[in-house]
Structure 1
Amino acid sequence: MLDAVLVQQCADTSLKPAIVEQFIAKAGSQDPLAVTVRSGNRLVLVPKPTTPEEALALVRDNLGRNIVRVGITQYPAGLGLMEAGQLKPEIVNPCENIRMGTALFAKVFRIISKWYGNPTAKDVLPQVMDDAVIAWRTGYFEGVAVFRAEDPGGIKVAEPNQDEPSVEPATAGDARPNQKESLEATKSNGPSDPNKAGIRVDLSEIRGSR
């Protein structure tokens, strides 16, 4: 089970511990050295690393030709890298992996919450969470490459099943948008393999089957 102290110390502060735990339980791993390699929709069998050095070597060997996820949050290892040599060893450090992963997931959640019209009803928020997890696994939501898309900001990502509203209410001008309007700001980035992304993402800002 994920260490609650580790979550409190390392997770992005815009996410409450409960939602971090849900995120990692649904999309992450309990193993900080976990490396998942996919070629398209096919899972590539790779040896299980036993040391940080083995995990990093495995990631470097597969970057650029496969989709690689690593660590507790199954962070997209190639995001923002121009070449494998730029990969930092901190990516397999539990705290740093949680920090980077939760910051990026918070941005993904905000993108999807905006598409839904920034809902506050507690019966809608679990659906937002489910779609955010799917987007994390695939890298896309409604054709948008969520890892590269602009962060809409302005939304508190809290617990999707709490009694009180967990997302700030939308303003009058933020009435539920249609798909075209809500994604207008991010479509210009276009879909892209996260492992071949040619731009860098500011990590401080931060669909698999249903």
Structure 2
Amino acid sequence: MLDAVLIHQCADPSLKPAIVEQFIAKAGSQDPLAVTVRSGNRVVLVPKPTTPEEALALIRDNLGRNTVRVGLTQYPAGLGIVEAGQLKPDMVEPCENIHMGTTLFAKVFRIVSKWYGNPTAKEVLPQVMDDAVLAWQTGYFEGVAVFRAEDPGQAEMPETVDSVNPGRSDALENHDDATEASPTDPNKAGIRIDLSGVGARP
């Protein structure tokens, strides 16, 4: 769990602390020196850095050939950098990493939210959050390179997105058939196609 003071002092002010916590829990790391290296869809095993200097050396060694994510927010290390010499040591400093990561994630969230039509309904926000996290992890949303895309501008950011259960609707609670079985449990689903006649001789 991240320190609340660190979030308050360092995170992008447009993101509520609960959203920052969820973002880092889903897409980030608990280790400020964490360096994740990917080649395509494969994770490249690299030695775990124990100092900021080791982390930066590891980033420099892999930048340009592989996708490198760094720090608490797993910030894309190569973003806006032409050569490895431009890397800033503060990229692995917790407060700066949170600041850079949440500022960029806020933009990604706004891009995804705009695609959804800037919804305010609490039932939709968990899906927006999930898609924003996936876009953060992959760098793309609906074919758009989200890190380099233009910021669509300020959108109303939610306080939190886990305060509702998207699988439950008040409208369904009054229906008798809603309590018969969970639609996600295939073992309790009713028969939809009668296959009893298949293979029977005329």
Q: Classify the TM-score, shorter chain.
A: 0.7 to 0.9
Counterparts of 1:162 and 1:15, CA distance in 2:
16
Structure 1 counterpart of 2:71: 71
- Cα deviation digits, residues 82-119 of structure 1 (max 9, x gap): 00000000100000000000000000000000000000
State which structure, 1 or 2, has the greater radius of gyration over its C-alpha atoms.
Answer: 2
Q: Residues 1-210 of structure 1 correspond to what in structure 2 (within 5 A)?
A: 1-158=1-158, 159-162=160-163
Alignment-mate amino acid for residue 145 of structure 2: A
Counterparts of 2:62 and 2:148, CA distance in 1:
21
Q: TM-score, normalised by structure 2?
A: 0.79
Q: Report percent identity of matched pairs.
A: 83
Counterparts of 2:154 and 2:17, CA distance in 1:
19
- Name the SS of the counterpart of 1:38 in structure 2: strand
Alignment-mate amino acid for residue 33 of structure 1: L
Structure 2 counterpart of 1:200: none
1:157 deviates by 1.8
Alignment-mate amino acid for residue 160 of structure 1: V
Counterparts of 1:22 and 1:90, CA distance in 2:
23
Counterparts of 1:99 and 1:116, CA distance in 2:
26
Structure 1 counterpart of 2:195: none
Q: TM-score, normalised by structure 1?
A: 0.76
Alignment-mate amino acid for residue 31 of structure 2: D
Equivalent residues of 1:68, 1:78 under 8 A apart: yes
Counterparts of 2:16 and 2:128, CA distance in 1:
15
Q: Taking CA–CA contacts closer than 8 Å with sequence separation of 6 or more, which of the two structures ends up with the larger relative contact order?
A: 1
Equivalent residues of 1:31, 1:71 under 8 A apart: yes
Counterparts of 1:107 and 1:22, CA distance in 2:
16
- Name the SS of the counterpart of 1:80 in structure 2: coil
CA distance 1:162–1:155, shift in 2 (3 Å): farther
- Name the SS of the counterpart of 2:22 in structure 1: helix
Counterparts of 2:97 and 2:105, CA distance in 1:
12
Counterparts of 1:161 and 1:47, CA distance in 2:
35
User: Structure 2 unaligned runs (5+)?
Assistant: 165-202
Counterparts of 1:138 and 1:121, CA distance in 2:
26
User: Structure 1 unaligned runs (5+)?
Assistant: 164-210
1:162 deviates by 4.9
Counterparts of 1:6 and 1:133, CA distance in 2:
21
Matched pairs, number = 163
1:33 deviates by 0.1
Counterparts of 1:61 and 1:39, CA distance in 2:
13
Equivalent residues of 1:123, 1:161 under 8 A apart: no
